[in-house]
Structure 1
Amino acid sequence: MNGASREAFASAREQLDALTDDSSVDAAKLAEELAAVTALLDREVSLRRVLTDPAQPGEARAELAGRLLGGKIGGPAAELVAGMVRARWSGSRDLADAMEELSYSADLAAAQRAGQLDDVEDELFRFGRIVTSTGELRRALTDQSASVAAKTELLNTLLGGRANPVTGRIVVRLVGNPRGRSLEAGLDALSKLAAHRRGRMVAVVTSAVPLSEGQRTRLGASLARVYGRQVHLNLDVDPEIIGGIQVRIGDEVINGSIADRLDEAARRMAG
């Protein structure tokens, strides 16, 4: 997002935080209602344009949204939507994108309130790895000819009773309405959003064998010293790296694997 949209989104995030910090607000219900508004904006492009038309006063746009959504969503969601449509947006699509992210953030706030955000974060990462490595599952979840109900049933079979309810809700929502993203990209974005909610960086750590609790603690402490903030470790195992570890934080890769050092030695010999 650029310009006006970035400012409007920042303001909306602050408003969402204020709502989810209020224990009287049902964060899970808020998430569901914001997701429904997102779906409406995706379906009704003309409405999305009207609600972001800079030629119309912000209050008039908010009143229109109130008339359309009155009785369909609760007070907290209506308050947040009104604030968002009063703001200026650089493009109509930005409003829907922001609404979607806030819906996921509200569900993550519900997990955080219950002390379960770490579990959700880890489950999103693990599920993303399963999808990447299981072609049949990925095809079933991204098959455009399959109904949302069929995909939801498959996900409920896979996750029901095994994953945190918040994980199940947001994965079902992502699969049912990918909004032009690949499933892997959507899961990665959700994992990062969960980490951001805790003010942490995410490091994807790949090792030849599972790391011990002590190794994880030492690695996390070392990365925290380097980056000046807490770093959450998403752990993966890949025997092909032979030994050592590989750490990826954003676009930065720190290689400490034996395979990497062997490759480097081979390149030097070839040179």
Structure 2
Amino acid sequence: MAAEDTSVSGVSGRYATALFELARDQNVVDAVKADLDQFGAMLSDSADLKRLVRSPVFSADAQSKALSAVLDKAGISGISANFLKVLTANRRLFAVADVIRAYGALVAKYKGEATADVTVAEPLSDKNLDALKAALKSVTGKDVALNVKVDPSIIGGLVVKLGSRMIDSSLRTKLNSIKHAMKEAG
């Protein structure tokens, strides 16, 4: 069932599916997600960790030793730590960010949740975030988790991507439409 989801295809999808099934069987889906989210946050915050994960220069042994130290310091253990070590031993640690995303998608599907990628010009207040979640829930019938990205270049409005649907109500897009209409009219 989970392997049919197009958002979890390829090598990262196979690893994420295997991890998800193991975590589900042991009733630790949320704990593993929390560990992977923590590792993902560490990865995005540390240039050294990114280099360790992505660089083919490091041997599997060197990667494994360094990763073990990082996991110990972060308090990540159990299935999550073993899984990350398997990725390292199989020389697939470079795909860890994609695996984390795919695992998150599997968890959301399992829980009947949807995830929307939202781009805004400036950070939204909690009130506006709640209103957006409620609006998306009324459309999808599911609880919707938001991945919010701030991009001042859209000037105003927002861009929402939910599954294969995208709604672009950004001011930048509206201005570009007007610009093109004026060129065609002239």
| TM-score band w.r.t. shorter chain | 0.5 to 0.7
Give the corresponding residue for 2:151. 238
Q: Would the aligned equivalents of 1:205 and 1:234 in 2 still touch at CA under 8 Å?
A: yes
- 1:184-243 deviation line (CA, Å, top 9, x unaligned): 432321221121121111111121222211111111111111122222112222222222
Unaligned runs of 5+ in 1: 1-5, 11-96
Distance 1:143 1:222, change over 3 A: same
Q: 1:226 aligns with which of 109, 127, 139?
A: 139
Q: 1:130 aligns with which of 28, 33, 44?
A: 44
Q: Would the aligned equivalents of 1:107 and 1:170 in 2 still touch at CA under 8 Å?
A: no
Q: Would the aligned equivalents of 1:155 and 1:172 in 2 still touch at CA under 8 Å?
A: no
- Show the 5 A alignment for 1:191-230: 191-230=104-143
Give the corresponding residue for 1:143. 55
Unaligned runs of 5+ in 2: 5-13
Q: Which has the higher contact order (CA 8 A, sep 6+)?
A: 2
Displaced runs of 4 or more, over 4 A: 134-137, 164-168, 177-181
Name the structure with the higher strand share.
Answer: 2
Following superposition, the deviation at residue 264 of structure 1 comes to 2.1
- Show the 5 A alignment for 1:85-234: 97=14, 101-107=17-23, 109-112=27-30, 123=37, 127=41, 130=44, 137-146=49-58, 147=60, 148-153=63-68, 155-156=70-71, 160=74, 169=81, 172-173=84-85, 175-176=87-88, 177=90, 179=92, 182-234=95-147
Following superposition, the deviation at residue 128 of structure 1 comes to 9.5
Distance 1:226 1:202, change over 3 A: same
Is 1:251 the counterpart of 2:164 in the alignment? yes
TM-score, normalised by the number of residues in structure 2: 0.67
- Show the 5 A alignment for 1:61-76: none
Q: Would the aligned equivalents of 2:121 and 2:155 in 1 still touch at CA under 8 Å?
A: yes
Letter in 2 for 1:130: S
Distance 1:180 1:141, change over 3 A: closer
Give the length in aligned residue pairs: 172
Q: Would the aligned equivalents of 2:64 and 2:85 in 1 still touch at CA under 8 Å?
A: no
TM-score, normalised by the number of residues in structure 1: 0.49
